[in-house]
């Protein structure tokens, strides 16, 4: 069984891109509609990049590839991301 | 908050917690604060340019200018082996953080005053210990700490002291392989019975934090939901199978 | 400029010729973008589908009945580890494509579990690629891609799709899983073609 961690593991790289924390933001899986905080997604980070999968259906939600001086971010597996506006951080 | 970047951290002190886990106090210029439950990413670079990166939960309560991480040495771990084996005061590493807004206490939205249930598997105790250390108030806390044996329990003396001196903190240990002398309880993995006996009833609607290896977290979260706890009041942080974050 | 941590050595480059930016490893890291597929050899199939829609397929026993080769190759993963002198047994794509008629220039590779990758058809021919089912004289472990994986050692290892299921021959180049996520479309380790835009 390939082991996974969770969306908290994406917090670091996403924090270099976004000014707000996204691990607490809820995302909707574009495949099955399951809504959950990014912190609860199944993250496979022992790969060429990090892949966050839906904890409901395993569909790919987010892919992150870190290259020198830049980050490639694909979030098309999420049909939305709900980001709270008043951020405690 | 703004975007984070890698910063230089200098090792100020190292304390051995168990034979395989050590706490590093890191001086970071400009480190102002963090929330209990957050983590930092650590990056090490070798002279030939090779670099490796891992995440470690912050163990300390917020203190300006410094942050503590507790590192469990993982078999063949190239980063944990360095941090909890070779690093000395004065050495420099790079860190990025504080990271995380989901697995934090108090929770960013919702009921910060509710009782808190912390369930730790192995080195999953670290972010939960930050919560215990940051508590400083009357919120009732119950911690259930699952370890292989008494020698694996990190922070045991401090937890005993806090149970004695802090008010409203209860700590229960679950031993999966070996128990201390005089132990009358069972030996084995956490089950529904232990969670019910040492946790909060579901109708107390506690904020629950479960941290540890992926398999442990999944099992405990399932048991808590089956016992009636609301899924969105259960926050989880899964480490890799060995107990270290990647 | 990253800070060097005193006493951290990590992996070292030895006195061997490695592609730029690579480090030698003695172990065999397992990298995966998702759960490990578990495929029964009784239900396993490998197919080549031509641009005309013609399907050539092999069951497990049919694959094993084909002439196979034992090859020793170097592996270069884009995550910077290289493992030299790895031994595999597999069926050459030259053998599998022998009776396949196609005017297509590209190959789009599908794996059990949904992973995909792409490469020019020419890179699968002339002794450059295999469907490999044994590693180090043992049946290929599921976590390393078993029952069978594609093996194309002259490109970065992400092109050597684990759990290979089918290869579609196409007229147009269709980028696969990592190629659409920011990795290089071709992936030559000797030219350090890691990322899109390199």
Q: Which positions in chain C touch A53 (Cβ < 8 Å)? A: 34
Domain-embedded: residue C197 = no
| Tally of structural domains, chain C | 1
Domain-embedded: residue C198 = no
Neighbours of C58 (CB within 10 A): 19
Disruptive mutation site among B46, B76, B88 for chain C (greatest number of C CBs within 10 Å): B46
Beta pairing partners, B99: B39
pLDDT for residue B244:
45
With CB atoms and an 8 Å threshold, state whether B86 touches C12.
Answer: no
Give the nearest chain A residue to C182 (CA atoms): A72
First to last CA, chain B: 25
Give the nearest chain A residue to C38 (CA atoms): A1
Per-residue pLDDT averaged across C37-49, rounded? 97
Domain-embedded: residue C9 = no
Q: Check pLDDT > 60 for residue B211.
A: yes
Mean pLDDT of chain B: 92
Domain-embedded: residue C4 = no
CATH number at residue C133: 3.90.420.10
- pLDDT level of residue B63 (50, 70, 90 thresholds): confident
pLDDT tens-digit readout, C107-150: 999 999 999 999 999 999 999 999 999 999 999 999 999 999 99
Domain-embedded: residue C58 = yes
**B32 touches C: beta carbon within 8 Å:** no
Residues of chain A with pLDDT under 70: 1-2, 86-89
Closest CA to A49 of A25, A70, A32: A70
Q: Which residues of B75-110 are buried (b: 16+ CB within 10 A; e: fewer)?
A: eebbbbbbbbeebeeebbbbbbbbbbbbbbbbbbee
Q: Check pLDDT > 80 for residue C41.
A: yes
**B241 touches A: beta carbon within 8 Å:** yes
- pLDDT level of residue B66 (50, 70, 90 thresholds): confident
- pLDDT level of residue B243 (50, 70, 90 thresholds): very low
- pLDDT level of residue C2 (50, 70, 90 thresholds): confident
**Closest approach of C100 to chain A, Cα-based (Å):** 32
Residue C165, domain extent: 23-29+43-191
- 3-class DSSP state of B78: helix
Q: What is the ipTM of this complex?
A: 0.92
Per-residue pLDDT averaged across C49-67, rounded? 97
With CB atoms and an 8 Å threshold, state whether B82 touches C2.
Answer: no
CB C64 within 8 A of CB C168: no
Domain-embedded: residue C10 = no
Q: Check pLDDT > 80 for residue C11.
A: no
Domain-embedded: residue C60 = yes
pLDDT tens-digit readout, B101-132: 999 999 887 677 899 999 999 999 999 999 99
**Which domains, from first to last, does chain B contain?**
7-99 (2.40.30.10), 116-239 (3.40.50.80)
**Closest approach of A11 to chain B, Cα-based (Å):** 6
Residue A83's Cα: distance from chain center in Å? 13
Query: Global pTM?
Result: 0.91
Domain-embedded: residue C145 = yes
- B104/B209 Cα distance (integer angstroms): 9
């Amino acid at each position: 069984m390939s082991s996974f961690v969770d969306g908290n593991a994406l917090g670091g790289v996403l924090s270099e891109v976004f000014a707000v924390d996204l691990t607490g933001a809820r995302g909707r899986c574009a495949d099955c509609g399951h809504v959950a905080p990014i912190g609860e997604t199944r993250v496979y980070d022992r790969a060429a990049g990090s892949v966050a999968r839906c904890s409901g259906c395993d569909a790919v939600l987010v892919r992150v590839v870190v290259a020198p001086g830049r980050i490639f971010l694909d979030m098309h597996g999420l049909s939305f991301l709900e980001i709270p506006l008043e951020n405690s951080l | 908050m703004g975007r984070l970047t890698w910063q230089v951290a200098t090792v100020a002190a190292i304390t051995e917690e168990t034979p395989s886990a050590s706490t590093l106090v890191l001086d970071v210029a400009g480190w102002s604060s963090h929330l209990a439950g957050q983590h930092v990413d650590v990056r090490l670079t070798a002279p030939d340019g090779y670099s490796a990166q891992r995440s470690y939960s912050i163990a300390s309560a917020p203190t300006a200018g410094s942050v503590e991480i507790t590192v469990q040495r993982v078999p063949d771990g190239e980063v944990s082996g360095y941090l909890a084996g070779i690093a000395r005061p004065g050495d420099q590493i790079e860190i990025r953080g504080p990271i995380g807004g989901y697995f934090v206490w108090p929770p960013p939205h919702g009921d910060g005053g509710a009782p808190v249930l912390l369930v730790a598997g192995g080195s999953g105790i670290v972010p939960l210990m930050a919560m215990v250390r940051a508590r400083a108030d009357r919120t009732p806390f119950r911690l259930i700490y699952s370890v292989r044996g008494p020698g694996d329990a990190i922070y045991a003396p401090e937890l005993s002291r806090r149970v004695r001196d802090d008010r409203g903190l209860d700590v229960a240990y679950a031993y999966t392989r070996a128990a201390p002398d005089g132990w009358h309880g069972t030996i084995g993995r956490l089950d529904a019975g232990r969670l019910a006996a040492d946790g909060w009833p579901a109708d107390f609607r506690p904020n629950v934090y479960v941290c540890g290896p992926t398999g442990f977290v999944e099992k405990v979260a399932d048991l808590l939901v089956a016992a009636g706890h609301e899924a969105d009041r259960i926050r989880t942080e899964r480490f890799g199978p060995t107990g270290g974050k990647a | 400029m990253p800070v060097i941590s005193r006493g951290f050595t990590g992996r070292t480059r030895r006195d061997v010729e490695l592609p730029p930016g690579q480090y030698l490893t003695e172990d065999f890291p397992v990298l995966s973008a998702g759960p490990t597929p578990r495929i029964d050899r009784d239900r396993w199939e490998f197919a080549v589908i031509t641009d005309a829609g013609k399907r050539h397929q092999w069951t497990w026993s049919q694959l094993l009945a084909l002439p196979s080769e034992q090859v020793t190759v170097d592996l270069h993963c884009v995550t910077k580890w290289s493992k030299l002198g790895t031994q595999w047994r597999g069926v050459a794509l030259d053998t599998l494509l022998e009776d396949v008629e196609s005017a297509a220039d590209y190959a789009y590779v599908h794996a059990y579990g949904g992973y995909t990758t792409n490469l020019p058809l020419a890179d699968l021919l002339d002794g450059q690629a295999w469907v490999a089912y044994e590693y180090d004289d043992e049946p290929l472990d599921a976590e390393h891609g078993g029952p069978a994986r594609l093996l194309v050692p002259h490109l970065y290892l992400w092109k050597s799709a684990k759990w290979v299921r089918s290869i579609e021959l196409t007229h147009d180049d269709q980028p696969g899983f990592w190629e659409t996520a920011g990795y290089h479309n071709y992936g030559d380790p000797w030219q350090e073609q890691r990322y899109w835009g390199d």
